[in-house]
Chain A
């Protein structure tokens, strides 16, 4: 039987390990192998233990199969649409000689019957082979992803951390001073944050911090000082959304009976706020964080473009202008898979932190 004590031990150890890794990564320390293993064992262990102890194995399997079929449908749809469209990526203004064209088509398996191409593609996915890029000659889509995903992932994680670190305290602060001037100005800030396009805030911050004060570099991705601005700018919008969510949820929790009981017991305001209110009001924030994580990862390309960060965003944009179909397909699948699995993990976390929720 899981008690609250077990849960807090497990969650805090997982959190400590992950945050240590993230911080070491941020300050460009070489992360020792044992820490990676520890992370893996802790996260994996917690996952397996929770799944088994709550009889969720069937549920996880069901969700995974569902996710698998959803991804299969997405792969099929995008594949068909991109193949059916007239005008291939090799149609240039100057027509290629037929022999050259035949050779190219043979290389990319474009001369096979369409059904054969499709089955080849789908079976390729299982082997981790997403095809060869049309534009970057001789480079596999999987290689491109393996090279660029870590950078985008890093950026996304920092941005996620920033958005939690700004959003949750701001929301809590606003709610604890409900309907005061502080509350109104905090919420004004949050609405502004939601309305702020990154290409407005980015130039302003770059001009201030990079050109006037000369504190931070305006581009590239080489060390801690390079990470600060992009992560901050990418995190602002989600931080604003989280602040609003947290405030709403705190205001609702504050009205509930168990908070009145806690207050009636004579607990200090602080204890009530942090131990009872905050813990219960973070659940809606948690539900939001699944789509948020996937959104940050797939929406970082503007920031990557602005700061010349060598992540996946650049490839996503270029694959479109280059009509590099294998790359578009691969990236679509990857981003969708991230969204689907982020949602699964969030659902599990959701039932973990709120035992009233029954997954089935």
Chain B
């Protein structure tokens, strides 16, 4: 008697499960991500920073390069919320404009290195054989140069090449190029590894057997299936690019004032650190919070897209 009841219960339960609408991998991941409070909070914060960066003109109370010589080196006041720097420029406005520059550099470089890395990794993984081992040798060699050194080297060579006359564009493109050329290597490795895995799958074999064009197979079947790890990696690339940009600007090899990026602000704040610590604390806190948000979002995305990795 009792066994029939449990059977009946089990039956209704399984019916319930079956009646649930089917969800795709991405919907599933999104539902899991929504449960992660830290990641959701971080994504709202990142959205907020992006909006600030886009509407910098409207949001900043003063122009970023306007100098108020009667108000040099002020600590925070009601007029200048975060104080002013050595040339009387409003720090709050400069941090808002700095958000635009830092975020733009980080996002562009991550996207460029994604494109290069994905194409390179996909070709290497898909073609295999001699070409693959040659292409991976190249990657290994680039990997043997420490990141910071490679970054500096690319920057030196770009600066020597003198493509742009305008010093602003030169600095901007130099840093974007250097960071992308350094960043693609990791992406290429990951994409290749993923492509090698997916290549073995039966659906790829089926597509091949049906005579699909290899290019089409990679775009239509391989790429969507390896998107998860790539998205996660991209989320981690952005904060590290923010950090590298600010490192380079800090040592004077990146952007220069009157340009405003968080690294530039930290670098100039450093010179007056002892008497006016707010000039370095505020911009570097902006870097810290933004990187924190990206790292939490990255962790959340990884847990959501690959639940087996949860808690790792």
Q: Point out residues on A near B: beta carbons under 8 Å.
A: 70-71, 73-74, 78, 81-82, 85-87, 178-179, 191-192, 194-197, 199-200, 203-204, 206-207, 211, 248, 251-252, 294-295, 297-299, 301-302, 305-306, 316-317, 320-321, 323, 328, 331-332, 335-336, 338-340
Contacts and interface: CB of A to CB of B under 8 A. Distances in A.
Contacts of A338: 146
Interface in B125-177: 140-141, 144-149, 152-153, 155-157, 160-162
A85 B311 contact: no
A70 B162 CA distance: 29
A286 B169 CA distance: 43
A200 B281 contact: yes
Contacts, number: 128
B273 A200 contact: no
18 contacts: A70-B140, A71-B144, A74-B141, A78-B153, A81-B157, A82-B160, A195-B292, A197-B291, A200-B266, A203-B270, A295-B147, A297-B146, A298-B149, A317-B253, A320-B155, A320-B253, A321-B252, A323-B156
B280 A199 contact: yes
B23 interface: no
B210 to A, nearest CB: 40
Given A207-B277, A295-B146, A336-B146, A200 B312 contact: no
A338 B288 CA distance: 30
A317 B252 contact: yes
B52 to A, nearest CB: 19
Contacts of B155: 320
Contact of B146 (A73, A78, A203, A294): A294
Which residue among A85, A323, A331, A338 has the maximum number of chain B CB atoms within 10 Å of its CB?
Answer: A85
Which residue among B149, B160, B266, B294 has the maximum number of chain A CB atoms within 10 Å of its CB?
Answer: B149
A302 B157 contact: no
Contacts of A294: 146
Contacts of A74: 141, 144-145
Could you say which interface size class chain B belongs to?
35 or more
Given A302-B247, A302-B250, A306-B270, A316 B292 contact: no
B85 interface: no
B298 to A, nearest CB: 10
B98 interface: no
B149 A251 contact: no
Contacts of B141: 70, 73-74
Contacts of B291: 194-195, 197
B188 interface: no
A298 B160 contact: no
Given A191-B292, A197-B266, A199-B250, A316 B149 contact: yes
Given A336-B149, A340-B144, A203 B311 contact: no
Contact of B162 (A86, A203, A211, A248): A86
B251 interface: yes
A332 B145 contact: yes
Contacts of B148: 295, 298-299, 301
B295 A191 contact: yes
B288 A200 contact: yes
A244 B24 CA distance: 30
B207 to A, nearest CB: 35
A317 B285 CA distance: 25
B287 A197 contact: yes
Given A200-B287, A248-B312, A316-B149, A86 B292 contact: no
B220 to A, nearest CB: 34
A203 B282 CA distance: 11
B284 interface: yes
Contact of B152 (A251, A306, A316): A316
Contact of B299 (A70, A78, A191, A332): A191
A115 B90 CA distance: 54
A85 B160 contact: yes
Nearest to B156: A320
A328 B159 CA distance: 14
B111 interface: no
Interface string B238-257: 01000100110011110000
B274 interface: yes
A328 B154 CA distance: 12
Which residue among B146, B152, B311 has the maximum number of chain A CB atoms within 10 Å of its CB?
Answer: B146
A312 B236 CA distance: 29
B157 A82 contact: yes
Given A86-B161, A195-B295, A196-B288, A179 B145 contact: no
A50 to B, nearest CB: 24
Contact of B288 (A195, A295, A305): A195
Contacts of A85: 157, 160-161
A7 to B, nearest CB: 29
Given A191-B295, A200-B281, A302-B250, 18 more contacts: A70-B144, A178-B311, A191-B296, A194-B291, A197-B247, A199-B266, A203-B277, A206-B273, A211-B274, A252-B312, A295-B147, A301-B148, A301-B251, A302-B251, A305-B251, A320-B156, A332-B149, A335-B146
